[in-house]
Structure formats: structure tokens, C-alpha cells
Amino acid sequence: MKLNFVLSIFLLLFIQSSFSQKIVKTGAPLEYVSTLVGTQSTYFLSSGNTYPAIAMPWGMNFWSPQTGKMGDGWMYTYTAEKIRGFKQTHQPSPWMNDYGQFSLMAMVGKPTFDENKRASYFSHKAEVAKPHYYSVYLADYDTQVEITPTARAAYFRFTFPKTDSAFILVDAFDKGSFVEVIPDQRKIIGYSTKNSGGVPDNFKNYFVLEFDRSFTNISTFADSVLQNGRIKVKAEHVGAIIGLQAKGRADQVLVKVASSFISHDQASLNLKELDGLSFDQAVEKGASVWNKELGKLEIEGGTIDQIRTFYSCLYRSLLFPRMFYEYDATGKVMHYSPYNGEVLPGYLFTDTGFWDTFRALFPFLNLMYPEMSLKMQEGLANAYREGGWLPEWASPGYRDIMVGNNSASVVADAWIKGVRSKDIEVLFEAVKKGSMHAGPITAVGRAGADYYNTLGYVPYDVKIHENVARSLEYAYDDFSIYQLAKSLNKGKEEIDFYKKRSFNYKHLFDPESGLMRGKNQDGNFQRPFNPFKWGDAFTEGNSWHYSWSVFQDFEGLARLSGGHKALEAKLDSVFILPPIFDDSYYGFPIHEIREMQIANMGQYAHGNQPIQHMPYVYNYVGAPWKSQYWVRETMNRMYTSNPDGYCGDEDNGQTSAWYVFSALGFYPVTPATDEYIVGSPLFDKVTLHFDNGKKLHIHSENNSLTNRYIKSMTVNGKISTKNYLYHSSLTRGGKIVFSMDSVPNKKRGVDLEDLPFSLSR
């Protein structure tokens, strides 16, 4: 018995050692990416709310296996047992749902249009899910389906058993669709109009499919009526089923698919992305593209799970905003405008919400992918020209959701980080317009602008919900415009105007609670006040979450709070308080509430964006070791490479970019400044390959699970006690060395000159 006990202990130690063993040198980064991270989600509890996007970086078209019913925002869930089809998708999240969508499905035997009857059992054991390649075995049809994408097209390979009754279905979905089978060209064309909003009346997604063999049978369906021999159909819901002869495993059926928002002819042009490529060559080319982009961040000295988590998060950081532009026959860039319905020259990007992504995703692109960021800035200028406003949530055009005017941050951060758009004067005009006026919908411009312009805040009692959240974000956005105006050498009056408004957060600071609180039009704070109440004056959070939304001036917040020590104690309280909540505004616990409740990190709700920067705020009050502890704690506990790997909505790269930045050892707490705030580096070695040809080497000596504290830091050989790093310095290349320890160094980073930028200092 004693021997068995000793053997058990030895085995446990061996297993623990194996899982914590560091990998010195990684292979191709694509090997570590799983597209299934975050797919084990439901409406009531999000572990990412992602789907396995089969896509190129920022690709115009994505593909995904479809387990959910047509129109279900949860198109793929890890716990599902059946696949209904393989869907072209442009869905940024289940909450926004989809547009530009249609699906393919393989069948053997008796074909059916019904999405329930055609669904096949599948297993994750017979599934390969990578960004550039997806494969799955459809058990009910003894058929393997493989997909590899380009930016605007996709290659399918179907391996049927030997049969005369192999079928491929094209489902153009409901809400108005069209399909035509062209047998002599072995082609199917069509369009889908199904969308969830944000499109003009003339919106269509045109698609074309080319097969490698003739059709043995043709059927089309219209509104559930299947008719054999009919080749052209237009109705509410249409599709086609074509029969094929399959001679066995070696006789694989190949299908090329592309789509366009412009025309069928343009869809055929987009299909040329696959010209001259076999299926395997297309897979290889896609792998090369992904490895190039992922390889700009080279890591060493992490556990296998950390490396998988890092590169899976990096993959998610390179999907949105997606390209919404195409190339005409002469190679000219053009786009269909979801803002006015016209086909126009120039770049356009879409499917992102700035309320989420201004915080880390766009700063990350400005650091590592500035050439792509430059195109995005041109796309923003085009959106303004075509729609009259900068979008705050685009999918594909304006969507009326979320709060803030954070396009100002996206524009300003790019310019200040050296992304020099030729359209900057147009963009400056756009951010000023957005700062002063309410738009045609609530989520464009600033809701409550007249109140904010007069009082410096949006009142609680004027029937504009989420008023504190709006006011705090408006003040930060004014700071972003102030920074941009300074950089553009605008007039003193204009610069001073936006600087003054940057302090508007002070109007909502409640000395009684030391938190942000709604204020009525008469200047009195709203009553009763419950800082644990979600919603109401706040957006998907409570006062404990939003009281740190003073990105531009934590020194000013500290002074209001009674000094650095008082603000430090208030920060500690976030993690100490129990995860209690008041859900009366919603009437039930929304999924963000549940995700905070089950995380066992007090009131810290990392699963949603408003508080994600908060662990870094300790750096502003001279307690950087607490940032180092909680940043590492969040990386270790809130992220894995498993299907439940996120602790809330992934949200178009924002939650992923938080991890990527934090693993490097720094984070952009205040976009529109030149600073990153130091945290706790995760890997022993990191090499950043910048677009300008420079390299930044980050070494973390004596790093481990327990050694999360920075004992010392050198930048290019010089000791630095500062709690921040400069973007302009990093991009020149060089070397940063962190010396890590298991105990905090409470003498480092504590002097005033070590603290990061604040507007009040």
C-alpha cells in the first residue's frame, strides 16, 4: 500500500512537471493555433462566443461549419452533435448575427433540403480546425469535407464513398435569394440578401461555384418545394442540389467558391484568387500567409498551453475588422458601400465595435501591423464621406448598439503611433463632428451631446440610459481629440477646448462612495445609489467596473480619491469584494454577470471590456508589483487553449489582444498616447519583427509560474525604474531585459518620475 502511494505521488509530480515544462524553441506558429477556442458557449454563458473561422487574416469572407439552425447567431457550438452545412459568414459575434451568408452541404443517398434531415453526426476526434484548413468526417454520409480559404474565395474537397448518388447542396438562405445552375459550365451562381441590419436596400451577396465535373442530376428548391430539372429560381428561400458521380476515395470532388458584394462578374474575378492552385497548394499558400503574420511575434520559453493560448489569441486578433473591398479587372481597389449602396473606389473595413476594440486591438495593429492599420484609416475616411459619420459599430454599415464615441481614439492612436493617413484632415473633421453632435441613430456621434456640451456630463434623469458610461467615454474621447489636435498643430483655442473637456470625468466622481455615480440635471447625484447595480447608468457593468474609465488621468482620479494610497486601497477592493450584483435593470443575470460571478476574482469582470485595463492602474499609484501579480493571475486563470478558453465574449479581437499584449509584458492603458504600461511578461524570450525591419528582443530572466514580479528592468542596456515603455522607442528595435523574482520589489517604480502619463501631472 505504501509503495502504491509513493508511486502515485511520483506519477502526479511527473505529470505536473510535463505540463509545466517549457518549450525552448517553437515551430511554425500556425501549428499552435486552435480555432475552437471559445466555441463552448451558450446564450446564457459565454466562453468566448466564437466560431471556428476558416479565413485569411482580415479576410473579406470567412467560412465555418454550421451546427446551429439557419439564422442562429450561435452557428457553431462545441457541444453540438450534428453539422447542418458549411457556411460562408461575415458574423462578428452572435449578438450582431450575420450577413452575406449561404451554405454548402454534402449528402449521399436520398438528398433533402430540410436542414434538420440533412444534418450529419460528427465528432471532434475526426475534425481538424485550423485558420487555413478545416476537415471533418460526416458520419451519416461516410464523407469527408475539407475547406481552405483565400481572402474572398474558398476551395472545397469532398471525399465521397463510391456512389452514383453523391449530392452537394447550395442553400442561399431565406429573406430573398436567387440561384441558377449552369450545367454546361459546371457552375452555380446566386445571391443571398439575408442580413441583420446595417445595409442599404440594394444589398446582395453574389456567389459563384465552379465544380470539377459534370452534374448527373439537378434540382432546385423554392420555399421548401423541391423540383427536379429546374435550373433557375428566385423566391423567399431558394437553393440547389446537384448530383455527382463519385468513383471512390481516390476520386475527390473539388469545388471552388467565391462571393462579392458588387456583382456576379466580380464574384468570378474574386474566384481567380484560386487560379493555378490545386487544393493542397491552396492549403500550403494559406499556411504561408498565416505563418508570416503570426510569425511577427516569435516566442520561446513557455509551456505548451501558454504557447497554444498565445497563438490562438493572436489568430483572433488578426480577423477583425475585415476587408470590405475587392479588386476590379484592372487591379483597382473598390468597394460596395454599406453606407449609401454605391460602388466606389478605395478601401473599406467593417465588422468591429470600437467600444470593445479601441482599448487594445487597434493599438496592437498600430504596433505590429501598421501597414494594414493605414488601410483601415483610409477605410474610416471613406465611411465618413459615404455616410456622414464615423461608425462606432459597423456590421457592415452603421449599427445602433453600444455607447461612446470611440472612433476618436481609433483615429488619434493611429496617428500618434506613426500611422500617417493621407486622409487625416478628413478624419479630424469627422472626429470633431462626432464630438459635438448626436447622430441619426443613438450609436453614432454622441447621444446626449447637447447636455454634455452644456453640463460636461449626460444627466441621469433625462431618459438617456447608460449616461455615466457615455460621459466617461466622451471625456476620454475628448482627450483623444486633444492629443490629435496637438499633434496636427491646430490652433490653441481648439486644443484648449478639448483639453478642458478631458477633465469632465470629475463631474461624476462621488466623494461619498469614492466611485463614479449618475448625476441629475440639477447637479445632484442620483438616489438611491447601488454601486453593484449593473446597467442603468453603466454599460454591461456597474460602478466598480466603470470607475476606472479615466484612461487619460489616473493622477486626477487619485487626487479626487484622497491620494495614491487611497486609490490603491480602492483598487484592492475590486478583488476583495464578493461577486454580488444587482440585476434589476435587466430583470435577470445577463451572461456578463454570470461570468464575473463564477470567476472567483471578486468584482473584477475580465470577461467584459470596461475593466480589463484596471489591473494595470496600480502602476499609476506607485504599486507596480500589484499590477504584476494580477495581470499574471488573469493570464493564468482566465485564458486557456481549450474550447472554453475565454472568460466572456472574445469581442472581435479585444479580449485576445489583451492577452497578447500582457504576455509580452506591457499594455496600452491609454490609447492616443505614446506609452505602454508594464505588467508581467509571460515568456522567457520574445522577438517582435516590426514592419520597418527593426526587431525588439524581450528577455525575461528567471521567469516562472511563481516568479511573476519584476526585480529590475533594462532597456537597451540601461536600468529603467519606470512603469512604462514608449511606443516610439520600441519600434526602433533593441532589447528589453526583465529580471523576475518570486517576491515583489517594492522599491522599484514608486517615485513620481516612474509613474506613467496622466493629464493632471
With beta carbons less than 8 A apart as the criterion, state whether 370 and 363 touch.
no
Using DSSP, state whether 31 is helix, strand or coil. helix
With beta carbons less than 8 A apart as the criterion, state whether 268 and 258 touch.
yes
Task: Decide if pLDDT at 8 tops 80.
Answer: no
Give the tens place of pLDDT for each residue, 47-85: 999 999 999 999 999 999 999 999 999 999 999 999 999
Q: What pLDDT shows up at residue 7?
A: 45
Task: Among 242-251, 272-281, 354-363, 597-606, name the one with the lowest average pLDDT.
Answer: 242-251
Cis geometry, peptide bond prior to residue 57 (ω within 30 degrees of 0):
no
Give the tens place of pLDDT for each residue, 495-521: 999 999 999 999 999 999 999 999 999
Q: Model's pTM, two decimal places?
A: 0.96
Kindly indicate the confidence band of residue 20, based on its pLDDT and cuts at 50, 70 and 90. low
Place of cell 493611429: 414
Task: Decide if pLDDT at 3 tops 70.
Answer: no
Using DSSP, state whether 603 is helix, strand or coil. coil
Mean pLDDT over 628-644 rounds to: 98
Nearest Cα to 207, choosing from 263, 283, 123?
A: 263
With beta carbons less than 8 A apart as the criterion, state whether 321 and 392 touch.
no
Cis geometry, peptide bond prior to residue 528 (ω within 30 degrees of 0):
yes
Radius of gyration of the chain from its Cα atoms, rounded to whole angstroms: 27
Give the tens place of pLDDT for each residue, 283-330: 999 999 999 999 999 999 999 999 999 999 999 999 999 999 999 999
Q: Which helix (H) or strand (E) holds 734?
A: strand 734-741
Task: For residue 11, give every residue at least 6 positions away whose Cβ sits within 8 Å of its Cβ, in sequence order, or none.
Answer: none
- Please tell me the chain's helix, strand, coil percentages from 3-state DSSP, rounded to the nearest 5: 30, 25, 45
Nearest Cα to 93, choosing from 608, 545, 612, 603?
A: 608
Distance (Å, whole) CA 674 – CA 728: 7
- Phi, psi values for residue 611, rounded to 5°: -110, 5
Distance (Å, whole) CA 37 – CA 51: 8
Mean pLDDT over 670-675 rounds to: 98
Give the tens place of pLDDT for each residue, 522-553: 999 999 999 999 999 999 999 999 999 999 99
